[in-house]
Amino acid sequence: MAETHAEDILPDISDRDQDTVASKPKPPANTSEHDVVIVGGSLAGCATAILLGRAGARVALLEKSPDADAFKRICSHYIQSSAIGTLERLGLLEPMMQAGAVRSRVRLWTRAGWVEPPRVSIVPSGVNLRRSRLDPLIRELAASTAGVELMLGYSAQELLREDGRVCGVQAHGQGGETIQLHARLVVGADGRGSRMAKLAGVTRKTAPHGRIAYGGYYEGPQPQGAPASTLWIMDPDMVAAFPTDSGYTFYAAMPTKDRLPEFRSDPQAALERFVAGVPDAPPIAKSRLLQPVQGKVDMTNVLHRPIADGFALVGDAAGALDPLWGVGCGFALQSAEWLADSVAPALSGAEPLEDGLKRYRRHHARGLGGHTRTILDYATGRKMNMGERMLFSAASYDERTGRVFEAFGSRNIGPVRMLAQGVPLAMLATARRSISRRSRSRSGTTAVAA
Ligand SMILES: Cc1cc2nc3c(=O)[nH]c(=O)nc-3n(C[C@H](O)[C@H](O)[C@H](O)COP(=O)(O)OP(=O)(O)OC[C@H]3O[C@@H](n4cnc5c(N)ncnc54)[C@H](O)[C@@H]3O)c2cc1C
């Protein structure tokens, strides 16, 4: 499949604030030695740097934006509960809560009815904080970690190699200077469309994405169920409401691509029409848009082999998946943790680096493989199949299935474990219920609600 690059549209700004001019960082000597060079100072890069710095490594963390407060602009930032342990370990959850973060479960509407968060949950709540607050927080934590040198305004351009093995990075500074950083391990945390992955020549796979995403922050009455986040799976379209800090709500629509013309011609009107049209609609009509609605049109799923000789990828650089299920931030943090834990022994000299990298690749595949397959399968923009409809239906009325389903949807367990927890039996019961309803309705004995 041809390579496709993500295109941000309306308004025409990039993910990073290009205009912000920060005080110029001090140029370092034009070559230096570290244990690890990390390219990309967002969630995945900062988390990797913090954990490796704490493990005793000397880390250079390169971020092309010169602004310590830069943040990813196109993101609805619902962080799944699977990443709560990582946030706690980083020491970030508490500062996030102080910055106004909202702990939030998910309620879902499908044609089978509402799937409310279970009364007794077996997983922690997810968390929601605007990226304009989250990104500076984690970058500040990285910069203050012993052993981590945050280098703002440096854009990595080339990988350095020795006998074919990656051994460093060449980067350009804001003033046009070129620096070379040598290290035993180079980490690409440079997001979707990773240049580092391309330069490393790792295997790349893409899978189609059939939807567009538009969203904006609104101030106004809270949606029903807040602080829970709500998803309306209109099948194949999707609408979401994410209550977040400061009492704001991020409303998003992810319709299939054939709806692009109406969103392009008036994004705000199209978003508000879409959100207001769902069952039990949230109060978007009584709310005020805070900033222009943002959209993303191309969200082709991109997967890279996460390791090469002297090299690893974390976060979106390793796998940029359909944002419909809100997994990217959590997976960025979790993959960072898996990499740091896997290579720390090698960096302290206890084993060859190759062993640590292989361990990371196995952990990455085990942790995300099942989720990735199910996410790619629905990303095409197709409608739900019979099995999926039965699953949602079973979760909507059976408390136990609802609990297991929440553990899966919040990415705490994979699809195999979910199915092993007796969920197929509940799905079977759903099928029986629906068949007996239908036959009762045909024989005219009962009026059947839709
Ligand atoms: C529409 C949309 C909605 C989303 N909603 C959610 C959601 O609700 N929940 C969720 O969990 N995820 C969501 N995501 C996904 C989430 O935004 C990403 O998965 C997450 O930001 C990935 O983090 P990262 O650190 O891997 O990459 P990024 O956050 O993309 O960071 C990459 C960093 O690398 C830097 N960089 C790039 N190239 C270079 C270079 N050459 N040199 C130096 N620095 C470089 C960039 O400036 C940037 O700081 C959404 C995505 C989209 C598109």
Does residue 109's CB lie within 6 angstroms of at least one atom of ligand 1? Answer: no
Does residue 62's CB lie within 6 angstroms of at least one atom of ligand 1? Answer: yes
Output the average pLDDT for the chain. 90
Query: Percent of the chain, pLDDT > 70?
Result: 88
Choice among 42-56, 229-243, 357-371, 392-406 with the minimum mean pLDDT: 392-406
In the chain, what are the helix, strand and coil shares in percent, each to the nearest 5? 40, 25, 35
> For the residues 275-294, what does the mean pLDDT come to?
97
CA of 322 to the centre of ligand 1 (A): 12
On the 0-12 / 13-18 / 19+ scale of CB atoms within 10 A, 332 is buried
CA of 427 to the centre of ligand 1 (A): 36
Comma-separated ranges of CATH 3.30.70 domains in the chain? 213-296
Instruction: Tell me: pLDDT of 9 over 60.
Output: no
pLDDT at site 255:
98
pTM of the model: 0.91
Rounded Cα gap, residues 277 and 254, in angstroms:
13
CA of 145 to the centre of ligand 1 (A): 22
Please state the atom number of ligand 1 nearest to the C-alpha of residue 171. 42
Which has the closest alpha carbon to 89: 143, 48, 148, 41?
A: 48
Full DSSP string of 160-203: EEETTEEEEEEEE-TTS-EEEEEEEEEEE---TT-HHHHHHT--
Comma-separated ranges of CATH 3.50.50.60 domains in the chain? 14-77+130-207+301-371
Question: Which of residues 358 and 20 earns the better pLDDT score?
Answer: 358
Does residue 316's CB lie within 6 angstroms of at least one atom of ligand 1? Answer: yes
pLDDT at site 440:
63
Rounded Cα gap, residues 159 and 168, in angstroms:
6
> For the residues 121-141, what does the mean pLDDT come to?
97
Rounded Cα gap, residues 101 and 128, in angstroms:
5
pLDDT at site 30:
72
Does residue 75's CB lie within 6 angstroms of at least one atom of ligand 1? Answer: yes
Which has the closest alpha carbon to 96: 66, 71, 123, 129?
A: 129
Which has the closest alpha carbon to 313: 185, 180, 206?
A: 185
Length of the chain counted residue by residue:
450
The answer to whether residues 206 and 190 touch, using CB atoms and an 8 Å cutoff, is no
Does residue 66's CB lie within 6 angstroms of at least one atom of ligand 1? Answer: no
In the CATH scheme, what is the code of domain 213-296?
A: 3.30.70
Does residue 142's CB lie within 6 angstroms of at least one atom of ligand 1? Answer: no
Q: How confident is the model at residue 86 (pLDDT cuts 50, 70, 90)?
A: very high
Rounded Cα gap, residues 63 and 61, in angstroms:
7
CATH topology of domain 14-77+130-207+301-371: FAD/NAD(P)-binding domain (3.50.50)
The answer to whether residues 250 and 287 touch, using CB atoms and an 8 Å cutoff, is no
Residue-wise pLDDT for 420-438, tens only, equals 887 777 776 766 666 666 6
Q: How confident is the model at residue 442 (pLDDT cuts 50, 70, 90)?
A: low
